[in-house]
Amino acid sequence: MSISFVRIDDRMIHGLITVRWGKEYPCDGIIAVNDKAANNPVLAGAYKAASDKKTFVWTLEHFDKVKDKVLNSSTKYFLITKNPQDMKKILVDLKFKPSDVKTVIVGPGNDRENAIKLGDNQSFTQEEGDAFEAIEKNGYKVDFALLPDQRLGSWDKFKSKFGY
């Protein structure tokens, strides 16, 4: 198994990711996929410094090139994107199957204009909602949880707010 945990988190990599989630889902490293961060050495460096695990910050294009290598690795990785649209590209458009993982855990989403608030620090736009729906339609469960003991509920509970 090479992917042990799949998460969407607008902060991508921070202490709670490895400490709290690492207890539930053991990992040896983190793969963060975000074009802006991967193309910005300062940002990429900050994300790498935020974890004591082996950490990669890749563009979607690079992830697509190495995804089979990732799956065949004996290293257990967390796969994290900053937004639902990037995760939809990975799971739906690139047809990446993250080992045995069937649940995508969604963390913080900033309150923004036109965002629909689902709970504390969990607000998402219609475009993000469309990505959640596409991910679910492809056989994954989308679960909203800031921390393992702070679960808000699944996409089924909230999708009507986005017209589904």
Cβ count near 155 (within 10 Å): 21
Q: What's the pLDDT score for residue 106? A: 97
Q: What's the pLDDT score for residue 63? A: 97
How are strands ordered across the β-sheet holding 77-81?
Answer: 54-58, 29-33, 77-81, 3-8, 103-106, 141-145, 151-154
Q: What's the pLDDT score for residue 50? A: 84
- What's the pLDDT tens digit per position in 68-77? 999 999 999 9
Structure tokens at 99: 């080992």
Q: What's the pLDDT score for residue 58? A: 97
**DSSP, res 55:** E
Reported as type and span, the H/E element at residue 51 is: none
**pLDDT tier at 13, thresholds 50, 70, 90:** confident
Q: Is 48 strand, coil or helix?
A: helix
pLDDT higher for 146 or 154? 154
> In degrees rounded to 5, what are phi and psi of residue 65?
-70, -35
Q: Name every residue whose Cβ is closer than 8 Å to that of residue 147 and which is 6 or more positions away in sequence.
A: 16, 20, 21
Whether residue 23 contacts residue 43, with contact meaning beta carbons closer than 8 Å, is answered with no
- What's the pLDDT tens digit per position in 88-140? 999 999 999 999 999 999 999 999 999 999 998 999 999 999 999 999 999 99
Residue 1 has pLDDT above 60, yes or no: no
- What's the pLDDT tens digit per position in 17-59? 777 888 888 889 999 999 999 999 999 998 888 888 899 999 9
Residue 160 has pLDDT above 80, yes or no: yes
Q: Is 61 exposed, middle or buried (0-12, 13-18, 19+ CB in 10 A)?
A: exposed
**pLDDT tier at 145, thresholds 50, 70, 90:** very high
Residue ranges and CATH numbers for the domains of the chain are 3-158 (3.40.35.10)
Q: What's the pLDDT score for residue 59? A: 97
